[in-house]
């Protein structure tokens, strides 16, 4: 399982199962959704069995402890979200440094047309806002997977001591997927593809004892699978 999969799963856990309208995520939505996963869904035998297998795979003794161990990949993903603000502010600072190397005449033209410094200031402000979500994702992941705060603290400290920076790109891509799948800003993109797919699936014959099963490869942050499930089908 690649790091990007863990990043996506963490985002799904921190999301809200939305109704037909796409409402902004409330501050209290994340813990409620986690409770629904860990209590309600686990009650189903299939989910309970899968959750048990997941915990077995995450056990430190399940295999050699290295970068391929599922628990270490999970900790790496959590570390990435935890360091979201620091890593992205580093990038903005890099842009500022490069911008300073532009000649005064060119900077004057740039500022008069696109106000680049203002855009950098806005980026820093938005990074602060995104970081609040990133830290919620970390706490949700710790709760769902049964990882203690102290274990993540130690793992993070070890990564920093060894000079291993958190993955900035994968975390940013996961957040972009979240916008595409669940936010109002991604609605037009979803409509371009989802409408056709859902219409075709909805028109297919299926019986009560034989629900429609749909494989959703590369399912992003789960929105398409969610919409398919609402057709009374079953998805994997």
Q: What is the pLDDT of residue 101?
A: 96
pTM of the full structure: 0.73
Please report the pLDDT score of residue 21 as a whole number.
32
Predicted pLDDT of residue 20: 33
Determine the pLDDT at residue 234. Answer: 59
pLDDT single digits (tens) 11-38: 555 443 333 333 333 334 333 334 444 4
Interatomic CA distance for residues 158 and 77, integer angstroms: 15
The b-or-e profile of 83-109 (16+ CB within 10 A means b, else e) is bbbebbeeeeeeeeeeeeeeeeeeeee
Task: Report phi then psi at 177, rounded to 5.
Answer: -60, -35
Q: What is the pLDDT of residue 121?
A: 97
How far, in Å, CA of 68 to CA of 155, rounded? 15
Is there a contact between 166 and 80 (Cβ–Cβ < 8 Å)? yes
Say what the pLDDT of residue 29 is: 38
Note the pLDDT of residue 209.
72
User: Which alpha helices (H) appear in 146-186, and where do they start and end?
Assistant: 149-161, 168-182
Residue numbers in the chain where pLDDT is lower than 70:
1-43, 208, 232-236
């Amino acid at each position: 399982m690649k790091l990007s999969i863990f990043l996506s799963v963490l985002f799904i856990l921190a999301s809200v199962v939305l109704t037909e309208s796409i409402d902004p995520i409330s501050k209290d939505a994340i813990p409620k959704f986690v409770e629904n996963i860990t209590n309600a869904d686990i009650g189903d035998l299939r989910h309970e069995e899968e959750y048990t297998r997941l915990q077995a795979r995450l056990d430190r003794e399940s295999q050699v402890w290295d970068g391929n161990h599922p628990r270490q990949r999970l900790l790496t993903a959590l570390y990435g979200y935890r360091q979201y603000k620091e890593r992205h502010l580093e990038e903005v600072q890099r842009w500022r440094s490069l911008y300073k190397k532009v000649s005064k005449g060119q900077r004057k033209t740039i500022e008069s047309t696109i106000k680049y410094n203002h855009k950098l200031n806005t980026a820093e402000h938005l990074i602060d806002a995104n970081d609040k979500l990133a830290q919620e994702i970390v706490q949700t992941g710790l709760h769902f997977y049964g990882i203690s705060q102290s274990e993540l603290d130690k793992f993070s400290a070890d990564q920093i001591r060894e000079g291993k920076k958190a993955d900035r790109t994968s975390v940013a891509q996961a957040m972009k997927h979240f916008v595409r799948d669940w936010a109002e800003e991604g609605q037009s993109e979803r409509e371009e593809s989802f409408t056709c797919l859902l219409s075709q699936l909805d028109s297919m014959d299926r019986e009560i004892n034989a629900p429609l099963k749909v494989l959703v490869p590369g399912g992003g942050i789960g929105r398409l699978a969610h919409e398919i499930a609402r057709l009374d089908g079953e998805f994997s």
